[in-house]
Amino acid sequence: MTVSIKVLFFASAREAAGVSEVDINLNGDDDSPPTTASFRQFMANKYPKLAEFILDEESLTLALNEEYVPAGQTISLNDGDTIALIPPISGG
């Protein structure tokens, strides 16, 4: 099963990837849709400079359709989903 996803990059994720937005096609397994875990691995392979951040759930938060994905939770993805890559935000 293949789904089409829009990916939005923010702050240091945008700098590491060199883009602010992309559309990707992500394959699942047989009849199963891809997941947030397989998405992280796909993006690490596609954007090596982003790999160290995206593979560490504590370093980069995913927002799926404007809802944060809690660390350790794996969610199935659907055609037309939007995922935002949100690095930690520091203030002062």
pLDDT tens digits, one per residue of 28-46: 887 889 999 999 999 999 9
- Its pTM stands at 0.92
In the prediction, which pLDDT does 91 show? 56
Measured between its terminal Cα atoms, the distance across the chain in Å is 45
Q: Classify 60 as helix, strand or coil.
A: coil
For domain 2-86, give its CATH number from 3.90.550.10, 3.40.50.2000, 3.40.50.1980, 3.10.20.30: 3.10.20.30
Structural contact between residues 53 and 8, judged by C-beta atoms closer than 8 angstroms: no
Only one residue has tokens 């993006």, namely 43
